[in-house]
Structure 1
Amino acid sequence: MRLPSRSSRTAQSVLAAAALAFAALAATAAPGSASSTVGANATTSSAAVATSARVLFDNAHAETAGNADWIISTSQPSPYNQKSAPTVETDWTGAISAWGVALAQYPAEYTLATNPSGRALTYGNTSNAQDLTKYDVLVIPEPNTAFTAAERTAIMTFVKNGGGLFLIVDHDQSDRNNDGVDSVDIANQLFNSNGVDNTDPFGMTVAYQNISNENTANLGSGASTHPVVNGAWGTATKSILRGATTFTLDKTANANAKCLLYRASVSNTGSTGCFFAVSTFGTGRVALWGDSSPADDGTGQSGNTLYDGWNDPAGTNAEWALNATDWLGKLS
């Protein structure tokens, strides 16, 4: 599996470390302050670019239901315990293990963990070893069981207080465990019934679509300069859609909602047909991707038939995933 280089991000970390050791050089060697534009009903703040990020991948909402395997490893990496990085993608087993392995090869910048099946997402629960207060980025790769009301509040509070949420949804009727809800339903419920802000806080909703086999390189207007598109892991220019949906943006609900990649057939300035979207809420950041196939690396547990979208030449799918992780963790 392809593991993209991240030399520019590593170089920035070296500069940050030098700045800490040699304060006199801070003005020229350290990463500068980054202005953080926040979501609706919040204020603008300024925060230094981070030098490390703690990333939690969720596996507590049936991410392996049916013919799916949206985990980085079956061994459930413990939080803050990635001292020995895997050397090749096959060191870990999971359909998004290439994503995890790429990050784990930079242990000075990333610590990884998996939220295991049966453990609720919490914020401010000191008895939970994987409480969201201990993480900078939460990745939820196609949930198939609904979040409880308490979990929706925890996720939104996490983002409002500075966390990064990466939510991957799939096409309409992708109910892999046949419980009556799919990732489209689950995402829209999170956006509109969360106990923190129930008025479309991110400025986006998920459409009920099933786009079967398309490719797109239709970047949103002005998207080429965004760190998710032009980032330390390379340039994200295109993506595959293999059973996908899109997002509808509402800038009146949140002026910071932005589409980075549209379907090929729509305007790159419109409010519909958005395939990769970003937004902010409070001091946190949000990224939404409309299909699980681009992050799928084709490997996983025995019995699952998977698709290698990570390496599909019709997309720069690894770059979307990895640059977005950087941006959500405020490494860029």
Structure 2
Amino acid sequence: MSYFKKLVLTGMVSISTLSTGAVYADEAPVIGSDSGKGQVLVDNTHGQTAGAADWVIDGAFSDYANSIAEQGYQVKELRDKTGITTERLNGVSILVIPEANIPFKSTEQQAILNFVKNGGSVIFVSDHYNADRNYNRIDSSEVMNGYRRGAYDDMTKNMTEAEKNSEAMQGVTSSDWLSENFGVRFRYNALNNLNATDVVQGEEGLGLGNGIQSVSMHAGSTIAVTNPKIAKGIVYVPDKLSEADKWGHAVDQGVYNGGGREEGAYIAVSKVGRGKAAFIGDSSMVEDITPKYKREDDGSTKKTYDGFKEEDNGKMLNNLTTWLGEKEDYTTFEELGIKLDQTTQLLDSEKPENSKETQAEPWSQPKAGYEWFNSETFAPGSYGGSEDSGGNDNPGNTQGTATLEFPNSVTNGETFTVTTSLSGYAANSTIKDLKLGMYTEGGNQIGKISKEGEQASDFGYSKPITVNTDSKGNAKVSYTVEVKSGVSGTANLRLKQGSKNIITKPVNIQ
């Protein structure tokens, strides 16, 4: 019995919300069920959908979230207005913080630190410097480090009074938080279009390098190890980097130490108390091509990329999940008897108190009327905006859910049926632009798919259809899928609404 089919039969099916109304009416999505490993909580309270970012578990981080669920975790998204708290972290095994654009409050920093010291794990996914997606002058690397470049004494430097007095900036203090507590600091470099092939193997790499040959980077940063007793690098960028290897919009030299291990780690880990932490210098290796929301500043459609499927990115993320989920008694890498890293040699300008703002922020002016701290100014269709575009004809409807039912295994060259059940919608409403696809790793489409009773001639997504709910707010549609001959192994079935990923499930092919 397949993983997905088992969930359907036990009533614990992973579901994703279809967008139909006010985005804040969206219930936080949940993927998978807890098989005993616990819960993975993915933060969405610090601007993770600002600008072109869509780092949500039923959007452009869905491939990553599904991979975590396949390891036996229940994956939940944090949307609580109170942010990250000790109470919310109760029962959580791993906290994932995708590229944050709104700073952590001191109480949130303390909650994260206590969580890790007491045995929890956290993974920080950052990005390159000058990636200020919501124009608030604070990049993800600065959020995670705990201070702004050139504004170490005052995180609100050059902000308007409205920004300074916003709820988002209350309780925010400046400090070298990440380095002081986790032994690392995200550097403010910006490297572009690299394959990192220097992967630490074996015991020295804590087993994280197993099966990893290469990890891709598209405009990312590296991580300085400031305390080798508790922190170490796992993946490094190539040697002998030049001007050509920096991101085109870098505001300074971009490459700090010529590449290699002296540039700092692309992926690093640390051991703090009874818990663990991991750090990634680029969101590009985690994202996929299924953004859910519109841009919050101007309402335009987002474009994301299939980084999760590049190189060994997905395998690397799976290895990190496995390691982070293992409870171990040692509290420093010294205790393991392995070779410790060298402290990364930093530029004098990288010392927090010496850092300078090399270009006035924000890097460009936001659209008139948009305020990063005020969701009432967000565009329709964005997370936090007034309504979602392209969902239901009746924007006041409540959210619905979708499930997929299909055989335990299917045979290449033959056909099978997939039934999509929609429930929880307003009575007699319309849901537009639904389509189903079947693909293997790398996005290779292997299904000729049509609404049952019709005929498909090409491999790819089915033609978009519109369905109407009944008097109870339910609807059902069945698809016929012809599997490409000669294909075997695991593939994915994905239901989309327009460009949005609704639900993705693995299917076994014989």
The bucket for the TM-score relative to the shorter chain is: 0.5 to 0.7
Q: Hey, what does 2:107 align to over in structure 1?
A: 150
Is 1:291–2:282 an aligned residue pair? yes
* Pairing partner for 1:306 from 304, 316, 320: 304
Q: Deviations over 1:189-228 (max 9, x none)?
A: 18x9799977622211111011121111111375675232
Q: Hey, what does 1:120 align to over in structure 2?
A: 83
Q: Secondary structure at the match of 1:132?
A: coil
Q: Hey, what does 2:234 align to over in structure 1?
A: 260
Q: Hey, what does 1:56 align to over in structure 2?
A: 41
Is 1:213–2:198 an aligned residue pair? no
CA-atom RMSD, angstroms? Answer: 3.0
Is 1:97–2:62 an aligned residue pair? yes
Higher helix residue share: 1
Q: Deviations over 1:149-192 (max 9, x none)?
A: 111111111111111010000000101001110111111118x9
Q: Which has the higher contact order (CA 8 A, sep 6+)?
A: 1
* Pairing partner for 2:50 from 65, 73, 84: 65
| Partners of 2:189 and 2:178 in 1: CA distance | 23
The normalised TM-score by structure 1 is 0.68
Q: 1:271 Cα deviation (Å)?
A: 5.3
* Pairing partner for 1:328 from 301, 324, 328: 324
Contact 1:152-1:194 at 8 Å conserved across structures: no
Correspondences of 1:20-39 after superposition (within 5 Å): none
Contact 2:61-2:286 at 8 Å conserved across structures: yes
Gaps of 5+ in 1: 6-49, 74-93, 126-130
Q: Secondary structure at the match of 2:68?
A: helix
- The amino acid across from 1:120 in the alignment is G
Residues 198 and 64 from structure 1, CA distance in 2 versus in 1: closer, same or farther, beyond 3 angstroms? closer
Q: 1:325 Cα deviation (Å)?
A: 1.3
Q: 1:273 Cα deviation (Å)?
A: 2.4
Residues 117 and 145 from structure 1, CA distance in 2 versus in 1: closer, same or farther, beyond 3 angstroms? farther
Residues 122 and 254 from structure 1, CA distance in 2 versus in 1: closer, same or farther, beyond 3 angstroms? farther
Is 1:138–2:95 an aligned residue pair? yes
| Partners of 1:214 and 1:163 in 2: CA distance | 32
Q: Hey, what does 1:26 align to over in structure 2?
A: none
Contact 2:285-2:307 at 8 Å conserved across structures: yes
Contact 1:261-1:276 at 8 Å conserved across structures: yes
Q: Secondary structure at the match of 1:320?
A: helix
Contact 2:146-2:175 at 8 Å conserved across structures: no
Q: Secondary structure at the match of 1:136?
A: strand
| Partners of 1:209 and 1:269 in 2: CA distance | 13
| Partners of 2:108 and 2:69 in 1: CA distance | 27
- The amino acid across from 2:314 in the alignment is A
- The amino acid across from 1:260 in the alignment is I
Contact 1:280-1:286 at 8 Å conserved across structures: yes
Contact 2:118-2:273 at 8 Å conserved across structures: yes
The normalised TM-score by structure 2 is 0.45
Is 1:240–2:216 an aligned residue pair? yes
Q: 1:304 Cα deviation (Å)?
A: 1.0
Q: How many residues are matched?
A: 248
Higher strand residue share: 2
| Partners of 1:277 and 1:199 in 2: CA distance | 13
* Greater mean alpha carbon deviation, residues 166-175 or residues 110-119: 110-119
Residues 199 and 67 from structure 1, CA distance in 2 versus in 1: closer, same or farther, beyond 3 angstroms? closer
| Partners of 1:159 and 1:54 in 2: CA distance | 15
Residues 53 and 196 from structure 1, CA distance in 2 versus in 1: closer, same or farther, beyond 3 angstroms? farther
Gaps of 5+ in 2: 4-34, 153-172, 241-257, 294-300, 329-510
* Pairing partner for 1:316 from 293, 308, 312: 312
Q: Secondary structure at the match of 2:90?
A: helix
Q: Deviations over 1:269-302 (max 9, x none)?
A: 9454210001111111010001000001111125
Identity score, percent = 31
| Partners of 1:173 and 1:330 in 2: CA distance | 35
Q: Hey, what does 2:133 align to over in structure 1?
A: 176
